[in-house]
Copies of this chain bind each other. A is one copy, B any other.
Amino acid sequence: MLKIGYLGPEGTFTQQAALHYLHNKQEADLNAMPNIRDTLLAVQRGDLDLAVIPFENSIEGSVNIVLDVLAWEVNLKIIDELILRISQTLMVTPGAKWQDITEVYTHPQSAGQCRLFLDTHLPQAKLYLTSSNAEGARQAQRAGRTAGAIGPEAAADKFGLQVVLRDIQDNDNNFTRFVVAGNETSRLPAARNRTSIVFSTEHKPGSLACILDIFNLWDINMTKIESRPSRGQLGRYIFFIDIDGHMSDPDVRDALTMIQRKTNFYKFLGSYPMAEID
């Protein structure tokens, strides 16, 4: 049976993504993991077959730790992606009024997605950041009637809280892209595919423009570019790029071969079926 790890505990958006991934697939053993690094390292060691982890959110941006671990600490490939609409809910103990809340418990990503709501509607409430939204719900439940939590409806169910407001995120276009990472090499191309790489350029003017021109030369569409500090050097960056297409396309293969020649550090992160927005 396939062993899948996800960023736990139960009652998080990532658990929803993992269940969604398994839908209509073979039976699997789902494991809630304590953090993203442990999830990816367990797959690298072979203790797990696959990891389901959040990759980027349309309001709050990329999940830094995922990018850093994929670049520096493991040699895993992205084999699939899922895009889920995220509805942030405000939950309180049964019977309590949300207007009376003086403490809010939630994960930093969820807090980031609901900044305007918090500033506008709960300016008096003290924000307690927790390691997951499920943990936030657990702490709010313990703290009692003056406490609220922000997160998925599933967390309210799990900890006996009551959802009082739905869709409190700052923008209705709230989607999170989750990726599935494993040791296996990429599968056969689907109808539409995405390919992810990470690289660092030579430290001279124009080197990033040169890389992007390579994609233009082969008519390849870039769908994402994200920079991260390069191992702690301020002013030096590594770049994560997503492009349309599969490594088995001759154009993608040739363009990436050229990019490998023009970069100091280069890592192929996988070709995988492009998700439709759910």
Q: Which residues of A does B touch, CB under 8 Å?
A: 37-38, 56-61, 64-65, 83, 108, 112, 115, 119, 126-131, 170-175, 177, 205-206, 208-209, 212-213, 215-216, 219-229, 231-235, 237, 277
Contacts and interface: CB of A to CB of B under 8 A. Distances in A.
Q: Which of A58, A175, A228: most chain B CB closer than 10 A?
A: A58
A117 to B, nearest CB: 13
B205 A221 contact: yes
Given A115-B37, A234-B58, A209 B215 contact: yes
Q: Which of A61, A115, A119: most chain B CB closer than 10 A?
A: A61
A229 B86 CA distance: 15
20 contacts: A37-B115, A38-B119, A57-B229, A60-B64, A61-B64, A127-B131, A129-B130, A129-B131, A170-B232, A171-B231, A173-B232, A173-B234, A208-B222, A209-B216, A213-B213, A224-B227, A224-B235, A224-B237, A226-B227, A234-B277
Contacts of A128: 128, 130
Contacts of A127: 131
A112 B173 contact: no
Contacts of A221: 205
